[in-house]
């Protein structure tokens, strides 16, 4: 069963039950309150009759007769009997038999449906003059005689009105349920269709729904975001495959050409020529290692051999290793660190991070360029900076420099291109330690990488 049909059925059932319960309760409460009102009116009538009979008894005394009270009893539809203080009968209205026949349907022939089940009852009132009791009044009546013809017509009309209103409300509710269910499910069906197209590979599909329902709108936006992410990932996957193929093919083609030349005696296997081959082999080996590292560092479950060590001293050792390399290319490598800063992290991964950052900075330095490595301890984290005065990075390239194989130079020049994996490895290793890395750069002025590592790791280790 579709969601639209389910919602429609649920809406119809809910509306129908609600209307029936509301109508029944309202009709019952109104009828009950109306009956109470009629009974109160009847009691007022009996009190009025008592007052009239009381005045008549004071006036005529024991000579009061049936003629005096019959007209009143007949007009009010009741039986009247007047007794003295010893409960001896003085007179009565001579209509008790009529009331009994009325109870069986004679008097209320128009409403025997309501009154045929009525019972004859009597009520006694004291008659007095001042504070002295002078007699008793007995009033006989049918217990449902308060339901007059007009009252019954009103109650029937009220019940009919509730029934008709309920039917109209149910019909309206059915149409409203159909409209609401379709209004809710139509955009959901469109979103589901979009999701199915994305599932089969149509990643350019987008959900375009017009709705005021916040949750449905958010679901549509989420599907679109998912499609955009999958499309971007697919583009990156294709780019990765193309870049890996190119990076592997270039050194392999070179090695193959040199080996074929040696086989054909076109190229002598001298030390210099073999050095060229070795350089290509080393480049290929580094590419494979970088690929392995970049995928391993992306693994959130990778094992980190964290230890507490002196970060200041370790950075000084790393800089000492790189200084000769920088000097050979007429570059300058400087260190500005606070002394005796302790950290808890994987020492080997730190070396790998710094190796990639220093290699990357050196690759884009200009003549007599300088790289400054900074270290400081702040309130909540330890900060490492690697700042150069090289060629800088364009603003449009900055969001992508940590992606695999992304290089700011479009050409694949060996001198500056690298493999395009170093910064991706750095980011993954920094994040694996709970840290963050960000970059600031300006074309022609240089680039600054900032690494922040939380102090919580050190505090927890010391505890």
pLDDT on residue 36: 86
439: pLDDT strictly greater than 90: yes
181: pLDDT strictly greater than 80: no
pLDDT on residue 415: 47
Euclidean distance between CA atoms 94 and 62, whole angstroms? 18
Q: Which of 74-88, 226-240, 360-374 has the lowest mean pLDDT?
A: 226-240
CATH of domain 3-168: 3.30.450
Report pLDDT digits (tens) over 322-333: 898 899 889 999
CB of 403 closer than 8 Å to CB of 232? no
For residue 63, give the DSSP letter: G
305: pLDDT strictly greater than 90: no
pLDDT on residue 314: 93
Higher-scoring residue by pLDDT: 314, 24: 314
Euclidean distance between CA atoms 210 and 212, whole angstroms? 7
Phi/psi for 93 (5° steps) reads -90, 0
Same fold, 214-295 and 304-462: no
Alpha-carbon torsion (411, 416, 419, 425), positive or negative: negative
Taking residues 368-373, what's their average pLDDT? 93
Q: Binning pLDDT at 50, 70 and 90, where does residue 293 land?
A: low
Residue for token pair 């010893």: 86
The pair of three-digit structure tokens given for residue 415, joined into one six-digit string? 């001198």
pLDDT on residue 117: 53
Higher-scoring residue by pLDDT: 51, 172: 51
pLDDT on residue 437: 94
Burial of 224 (0-12, 13-18, 19+ CB in 10 A): middle
According to the per-residue pLDDT averaged within each range, which of 1-15, 56-70, 148-162, 412-426 is highest?
56-70
Taking residues 65-77, what's their average pLDDT? 86
Euclidean distance between CA atoms 357 and 341, whole angstroms? 20
Taking residues 44-51, what's their average pLDDT? 91
pLDDT on residue 435: 93
Taking residues 28-49, what's their average pLDDT? 87
Euclidean distance between CA atoms 164 and 153, whole angstroms? 16
Asked: is 304-462 a CATH 3.30.565.10 domain? The reply is yes
Fold of the domain built from segment(s) 214-295? Helix Hairpins (1.10.287)
Q: Which of 321-330, 391-400, 418-427 has the lowest mean pLDDT?
A: 418-427
Question: For all residues of the chain together, what is the average pLDDT?
Answer: 81
Residue for token pair 């009325």: 102
The pair of three-digit structure tokens given for residue 453, joined into one six-digit string? 């590592």
Element (H, E) at 431: helix 422-432
Report pLDDT digits (tens) over 74-129: 888 888 999 988 889 999 888 776 666 555 444 443 444 444 456 788 889 999 98
What is the DSSP annotation of 1-60? --HHHHHHHHHHHHHHHHHHHHHHHHHHHHHHHHHHHHHHHHHHHHHHHHHHHHHHHHHH
Domain boundaries along the sequence of the chain: 3-168, 214-295, 304-462
């Amino acid at each position: 069963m579709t969601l639209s049909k389910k919602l429609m059925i649920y809406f119809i059932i809910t509306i129908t039950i609600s209307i029936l319960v509301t109508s029944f309760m309202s009709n019952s409460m109104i009828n009950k309150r109306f009956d109470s009102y009629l009974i109160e009116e009847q009691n007022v009538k009996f009190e009025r009759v008592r007052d009239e009979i009381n005045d008549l008894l004071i006036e005529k005394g024991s000579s009061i007769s049936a003629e005096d009270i019959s007209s009143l009893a007949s007009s009010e539809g009741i039986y009247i009997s007047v007794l003295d203080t010893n409960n001896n009968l003085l007179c009565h209205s001579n209509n008790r038999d009529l009331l009994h026949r009325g109870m069986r349907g004679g008097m209320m022939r128009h409403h025997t449906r309501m009154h045929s089940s009525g019972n004859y009852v009597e009520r006694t009132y004291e008659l007095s003059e001042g504070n002295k009791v002078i007699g008793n009044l007995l009033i006989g009546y049918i217990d449902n005689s308060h339901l007059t013809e007009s009252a019954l017509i009103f109650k029937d009309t009220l019940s009919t009105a509730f029934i008709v209103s309920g039917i109209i409300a149910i019909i309206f509710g059915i149409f409203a349920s159909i409209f609401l269910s379709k209004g809710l499910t139509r955009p959901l069906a469109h979103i589901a269709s979009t999701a199915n197209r994305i599932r089969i590979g149509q990643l350019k599909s987008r959900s375009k729904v017009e709705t005021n329902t916040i949750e449905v709108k958010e679901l549509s936006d989420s599907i679109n975001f998912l499609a955009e992410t999958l499309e971007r990932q697919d583009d990156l996957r294709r780019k990765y495959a193309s870049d890996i193929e190119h990076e592997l093919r270039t050194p392999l083609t070179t090695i193959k050409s040199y080996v074929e030349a040696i086989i054909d005696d076109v190229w002598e296997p001298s030390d210099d020529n073999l050095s060229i081959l070795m350089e290509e082999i080393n480049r290929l080996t580094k590419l494979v290692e970088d690929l392995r590292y970049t995928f391993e560092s992306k693994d959130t479950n990778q094992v980190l051999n964290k230890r507490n060590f002196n970060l200041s001293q370790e950075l000084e050792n790393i800089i000492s290793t790189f200084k000769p390399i920088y000097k050979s290319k007429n570059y300058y490598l400087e260190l500005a660190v606070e002394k005796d800063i302790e950290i808890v992290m994987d020492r080997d991964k730190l070396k790998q991070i710094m190796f990639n950052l220093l290699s990357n900075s050196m690759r884009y330095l200009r003549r007599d360029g300088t790289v400054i490595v900074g270290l400081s301890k702040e309130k909540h984290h330890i900060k490492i900076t690697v700042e150069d005065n090289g060629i800088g990075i364009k603003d449009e390239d900055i969001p992508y420099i940590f992606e695999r194989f992304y290089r700011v130079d479009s050409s694949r020049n060996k001198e500056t291109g690298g493999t395009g994996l170093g910064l991706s490895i750095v980011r993954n290793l920094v994040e694996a330690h709970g840290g963050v890395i960000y970059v600031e750069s300006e074309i022609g002025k240089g680039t600054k990488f900032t690494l922040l590592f939380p102090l919580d790791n050190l505090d927890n280790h010391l505890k």
